[in-house]
Amino acid sequence: MSIVIARVETATPALAAFLDAHHADMADTAPAESRHALPFDRLLVPGVRLFASFDDGRPVATGALAALDDEHEELKSMRTDPDVRGKGLGRAMLAFLIADATARGIRRISLETGSMEFFLPARTLYAGAGFVECPPFGSYRPDPLSTFMTLALPAASVASEVRTG
């Protein structure tokens, strides 16, 4: 498996289908008002940086950073293809996104994920990367079906560089 992480700036049918599957995976986890995944077209707007991992041209993982302000971004659309979960692709994508944000001078990344058992692997991944629970941020309101997490980032160093493909 040869994985490449690349910035996505235009829609492709394969990536649209991959992210549609992300929404389908979550459809039964909570009512619509408690599901906050962005539709594909909203991941391709200014202020959002969408990335995907590809294996031989097939999307196998995604992640995005959406600007909340000049120093705070929200992690969005983290997904790994169920057929390749457990191989470190989610950890690699998360590390890539953290490095990208740090290199650009972002000081904090926050996220919303579900509080249900279905989302335990995601919460474990984020906690393992240093994210801690926090109150709702941005336009979010308290919701018992949501868990909010945040990560303070170090100041970017002059030597740090992220390749975005």
CATH number at residue 89: 3.40.630.30
Contact 151, 132 (CB under 8 A): yes
Cβ partners under 8 Å of residue 72, min gap 6: 106, 107, 108, 109, 110, 137
pLDDT at 85: 87
Q: Is 60 contained in some domain?
A: yes
Q: Is 93 contained in some domain?
A: yes
Number of domains in the chain: 1
Owning domain of residue 48: 3-152
The pTM of the full predicted model, rounded to 2 decimals, is 0.86
Alpha-carbon distance 16 to 19, whole Å? Answer: 5
Q: Is 64 contained in some domain?
A: yes
pLDDT (tens place) for every residue of the chain, 165 residues total: 667 899 999 888 888 888 877 667 665 666 556 556 667 888 889 999 999 999 888 899 999 999 999 999 999 999 999 889 889 999 999 999 999 999 999 999 999 999 989 899 999 999 999 999 999 999 999 999 999 999 999 986 544 444 444
Q: Is 119 contained in some domain?
A: yes
pLDDT at 156: 65
Q: Using the 8-state DSSP alphabet, how is residue 105 labeled? A: T
Q: Is 163 contained in some domain?
A: no
Q: Is 164 contained in some domain?
A: no
Q: Is 161 contained in some domain?
A: no
Q: Is 158 contained in some domain?
A: no
Nearest to 4 by CA among 43, 71, 57: 57
Backbone φ, ψ for residue 88 (5° rounding): 90, 5
